[in-house]
Structure 1
Amino acid sequence: MGINFKNLFTSQKTKSKMGDYQNLDHIDGVAISTVSANLYNNTRDDLVMFYFRDGANYATVYTQSKIVSENIKWNINQKNEKVFSLLINTRNANAFTGLKGYQSMQKLAELISSELSQKQKEDDNNPDLITPSQILFGCTGTIGEVFPLEKIKNKIPDLINQIKYTQNKYIWTKAALGIMTTDTKPKLAMAECNIGSTKVKIYGIAKGSGMIQPNMATTLCYVFTDAKISNEILKKLLIKNISNTFNAISCDGDTSTNDMVTIFSTNKASNTKINSINDKKLIEFDKSLNEVLLNLAKRVVADGEGASKFITINVNNCLSESDAKKIAFSISNSALVKTAFAGEDPNWGRVIMAIGKSDVDFDPSKLSLRFGNNKIIVNGKLNEKYDENLLKEYMKNYSLDIHVDIITGKKNFTVYTMDFTKKYVEINADYRS
């Protein structure tokens, strides 16, 4: 079946195009392949491989859950400066699978490195010998089920034979589709910028729809650049830009065992050497990376399981960013707030409740609250001109903006979230059916 780009990149409920930043084409040093290993007992793509012909620098942030998947354990244990491949499978999280799950990663790494080393001999005059430790994995799906090693192993030769050295929007979209689970649409983003006088590209794909709550990370996200940047600086850039992007979203308040956000640098651009994250030549790249990560993070929220609303929660004028963050997540993770938004009920009292339970010290007499331009609480009191009918009309919008002013300082934080609908319950009640 062909991909209908119009349907994929246009949201009917928002009546707005989702295609900004999505005209991804070719990026030097990255090759892509997708196949079906029949993990869903159908022919949908469920295995995605990224191959870096000359290797790639990389940096990753992982989930802070105390229970992590076996693929993350594998990735953390590999200490190479460069990697040559990333393999992502869906349907199975390879989490709580013990030694067998970890050994599956090792066996796949041995097979992939051997096959790619052979491909190097066929395609390159100066082939590299790729080792198992230069292979990374991403897994997503059900926790606790036996990892389908044989199904995946049997498809590795096909996956490598179908590697495409030149990409286009169709190939990137297939990759984004191939890593989806309960997502309803692929998530892609891109930016182009300069490092000094050299033009570079930043491309990214992500998946995520449920089990979304930060504490790094909050989903699977893979970003690729042709810039020449060291692992150390990539790591600093990623950590810096995760804070207000993938660590600023929540769908349901649950942190996955498998979360990871990785950036790969193929070093194919001819930019001058970057010696520090404070190098002025990185200013544009830093901004563009944040743009790509925020774009993808927002797409995760917009595609949250059963979501009918995209909600932005702005908490302003706090003593610390930590205080602002606590209040914002207290609101975004409240089931009572989320269900009120789903029902388009202007029950602002639930937001007040969520602010109060956040364990942040503030003076309620200075609190202000508004939904969009509708002022509800001003200096701790109900606005004399408050009109609930106007608020009811506002609640019918798809995008809702909540503004909270605490007035204890000058620090702010913004969280992006969604509502809880009956569809959310249906999706998660039937998740393994």
Structure 2
Amino acid sequence: MGINFKNLFSSQKNKSTMGDYQNLDHIDGVAISTVSANLYSNSRDDLVIFYFRDGANHASAYTQSTIVSENIKWNKNQRNEKVYSLVVNTRNANAFTGVKGYQSMQKLAELISLKLTEKQKEDDNNPITILSEQILFGCTGTIGETFPYEKIKKNIPKLLDQIKYTQNKFIWTKAALGMMTTDTKPKLAMEECFIGSSKVKIYGIAKGSGMIQPNMATTLCYIFTDAKIPNDILKKLLLKNISNTFNAITCDSDTSTNDMVSIFATNKANNQKINSISDKKIFDFDKSLNQVLLNLAKRVVADGEGASKFITINVKNCHSEKDARTIGFSIANSPLVKTAIAGEDPNWGRIVMAIGKSGIEIDLTKLSIKFGEHKIVANGKLIEKYDESIVGDYMKNYAIEIEVELGIGKKSFTTYTMDFTKKYIEINADYRS
């Protein structure tokens, strides 16, 4: 698949910066390759490998769906401190494929580990033997179709032959493109920060456009850092920071069988030892990781299937964050709210409806609602000077912000979503056509 960078790096949305891409360059300890395994009917890239030549510490958060893909089962069964590769395919979810789907992961891991061990002997002065248990997988695509093991197996040698040990923006973009399904654009983000006096990088790529509502994790998201951080602290950092990022987004309220957010640390930065998640040396890293995850999560929402609006819902002054989250998702997942926003209709009554159906106890006399800077409801009543034409003009913006204030506590939560358009129906009606 050819890449038109002029179009790719320009925003497709009015007044949106979601089409802007940062200059991800080289990160020590990560090698990348992408190829077409002909999983689609065209020659687009659909198979990606990330190779950690000296191994990487790692942590993951997976879907909490009771039906999970076979690659997630494989990943959860591996207990190694370090991994040496992550392989991602698109077009096929390897979900509801049973024993054969799991065996495909096992056989591919054996092949990849063997080939990477050979590569170690070719490229390294002190080669090691890489085990099949040190290979992880990400799969995305259609549920219930036979996993294309033979096609992927056939292309593993080519994938490994084309591994690039030095990265640039083009290579990272190709990797992000190689994971896409109904996405219209790749999703990349980066931050640089310090652990003590050591400068470290945090790079991230993600895919996701539909079947998006988090439940511990959402879509496919992979974070890479050259920091030296042990697995247990990586896990705590990841779980902490997906709470208000990937666990704060929804496109259509559906949780995938394949959701996976992972972080890989190559230990190349040689920073001071981190002893706990509360270590002051890691404060900057913690903050920067959150920024990368939030950047990617917002990009997933902005690229939601058929989306024409990016919607931020701030629910404030609740008894608990859980209450604020529940109300936020009640609004964000309401088809009536989403279609009203798609139609640029300031139908604030649908916000009231969504708050009421959430089941959260409120004091109506303290309820306030705003669209952008425009106050609509105050103290549980429509304001006297409400002018729908002014709010209607606001609804023409690409970025819409809704604020709900309950006035009964100090806890808040922000949820991100998109609207529902006719295009959403067309994409999902024709998904397998």
Q: How many Å separate the matches in 2 of 1:6 and 1:359?
A: 48
Deviation of the 1:160 alpha carbon: 0.3
User: Which residue in 1 is equivalent to 2:310?
Assistant: 310
Q: How many Å separate the matches in 2 of 1:198 and 1:56?
A: 18
- Asked if 1:233 corresponds to 2:237, the answer is no
Q: How does 1:31-50 map to 2 (within 5 A)?
A: 31-50=31-50
User: Which residue in 1 is equivalent to 2:125?
Assistant: 125
User: Which residue in 2 is equivalent to 1:79?
Assistant: 79
* Matched residue type, 1:366: K
Deviation of the 1:14 alpha carbon: 2.0
- Aligned to 1:345, the other structure's residue is in SS state coil
- Aligned to 1:236, the other structure's residue is in SS state helix
- Asked if 1:292 corresponds to 2:292, the answer is yes
User: Which residue in 1 is equivalent to 2:375?
Assistant: 375
Deviation of the 1:12 alpha carbon: 2.9
- Aligned to 2:206, the other structure's residue is in SS state strand
User: Which residue in 2 is equivalent to 1:190?
Assistant: 190
Q: How many Å separate the matches in 1 of 2:18 and 2:313?
A: 21
Deviation of the 1:407 alpha carbon: 1.1
- Asked if 1:55 corresponds to 2:60, the answer is no
User: Which residue in 2 is equivalent to 1:249?
Assistant: 249
- Aligned to 1:88, the other structure's residue is in SS state strand
User: Which residue in 2 is equivalent to 1:91?
Assistant: 91
Gaps of 5+ in 2: none
Point out 4+ residue stretches in structure 1 off by more than 4 angstroms.
none
Q: How many Å separate the matches in 2 of 1:18 and 1:354?
A: 28
In the alignment of these two chains, the number of paired residues is: 433
Q: How many Å separate the matches in 2 of 1:427 and 1:202?
A: 33
Deviation of the 1:21 alpha carbon: 5.8
Which digits, 9 at most, give the CA deviation of each residue in 1:337-388, with x for residues without a partner? 0000011111110010000000111111110001001111000011111100
Gaps of 5+ in 1: none
* Matched residue type, 1:58: H
User: Which residue in 2 is equivalent to 1:389?
Assistant: 389
Q: How many Å separate the matches in 1 of 2:20 and 2:133?
A: 37
* Matched residue type, 1:192: E
Q: Retained in 1: the 8 A contact 2:220–2:259?
A: yes
User: Which residue in 2 is equivalent to 1:116?
Assistant: 116
- % same residue: 79
* Matched residue type, 2:330: S
Q: How does 1:347-426 map to 2 (within 5 A)?
A: 347-426=347-426
Deviation of the 1:145 alpha carbon: 0.2
Q: How many Å separate the matches in 2 of 1:6 and 1:413?
A: 37
Q: Retained in 1: the 8 A contact 2:15–2:398?
A: no
Q: Retained in 1: the 8 A contact 2:85–2:135?
A: yes
Q: How many Å separate the matches in 1 of 2:210 and 2:18?
A: 20
Deviation of the 1:422 alpha carbon: 0.2
User: Which residue in 2 is equivalent to 1:211?
Assistant: 211
User: Which residue in 2 is equivalent to 1:29?
Assistant: 29
Q: Give the TM-score normalised by the residue count of structure 2.
A: 0.99
Q: Retained in 2: the 8 A contact 1:21–1:191?
A: no
Q: How many Å separate the matches in 1 of 2:356 and 2:273?
A: 49
Q: How many Å separate the matches in 2 of 1:13 and 1:322?
A: 32
Q: How does 1:154-193 map to 2 (within 5 A)?
A: 154-193=154-193
Deviation of the 1:60 alpha carbon: 0.1
Q: How many Å separate the matches in 2 of 1:211 and 1:118?
A: 39
Which digits, 9 at most, give the CA deviation of each residue in 1:159-182, with x for residues without a partner? 000000000000000000000000
Q: Retained in 1: the 8 A contact 2:215–2:247?
A: yes
* Matched residue type, 1:304: G
User: Which residue in 1 is equivalent to 2:278?
Assistant: 278
Q: How many Å separate the matches in 2 of 1:12 and 1:311?
A: 16
User: Which residue in 2 is equivalent to 1:220?
Assistant: 220
Q: How many Å separate the matches in 2 of 1:102 and 1:226?
A: 31
Q: How many Å separate the matches in 2 of 1:208 and 1:385?
A: 42
Q: Retained in 1: the 8 A contact 2:71–2:102?
A: yes
Deviation of the 1:213 alpha carbon: 0.2
* Matched residue type, 1:356: G
* Matched residue type, 2:26: H
Which digits, 9 at most, give the CA deviation of each residue in 1:139-170, with x for residues without a partner? 00000000000000000000000000000000
Q: Retained in 2: the 8 A contact 1:9–1:18?
A: no
Q: How many Å separate the matches in 1 of 2:281 and 2:252?
A: 39
Q: How many Å separate the matches in 2 of 1:244 and 1:9?
A: 27
- Asked if 1:329 corresponds to 2:329, the answer is yes
- Asked if 1:342 corresponds to 2:347, the answer is no
Deviation of the 1:18 alpha carbon: 3.7
- Aligned to 1:250, the other structure's residue is in SS state coil
Q: How many Å separate the matches in 2 of 1:38 and 1:20?
A: 29
- Aligned to 1:228, the other structure's residue is in SS state coil
Deviation of the 1:216 alpha carbon: 1.7
Deviation of the 1:17 alpha carbon: 4.0
Q: Retained in 2: the 8 A contact 1:47–1:90?
A: yes
Which digits, 9 at most, give the CA deviation of each residue in 1:187-211, with x for residues without a partner? 0000000000000000000000000
Q: How many Å separate the matches in 2 of 1:96 and 1:13?
A: 36
The CA RMSD measured in Å over matched residues stands at 0.9
- Aligned to 1:64, the other structure's residue is in SS state coil
Deviation of the 1:20 alpha carbon: 5.2
* C-alpha spacing 1:15/1:403, structure 2 compared with 1 (3 Å): closer
* C-alpha spacing 1:37/1:2, structure 2 compared with 1 (3 Å): closer
Q: How many Å separate the matches in 2 of 1:301 and 1:93?
A: 21
Deviation of the 1:19 alpha carbon: 5.9
- Aligned to 1:307, the other structure's residue is in SS state coil
* Matched residue type, 1:332: A
Q: Retained in 2: the 8 A contact 1:207–1:221?
A: yes
Q: Give the TM-score normalised by the residue count of structure 1.
A: 0.99
Q: How many Å separate the matches in 1 of 2:187 and 2:19?
A: 10
Q: Retained in 2: the 8 A contact 1:10–1:16?
A: no
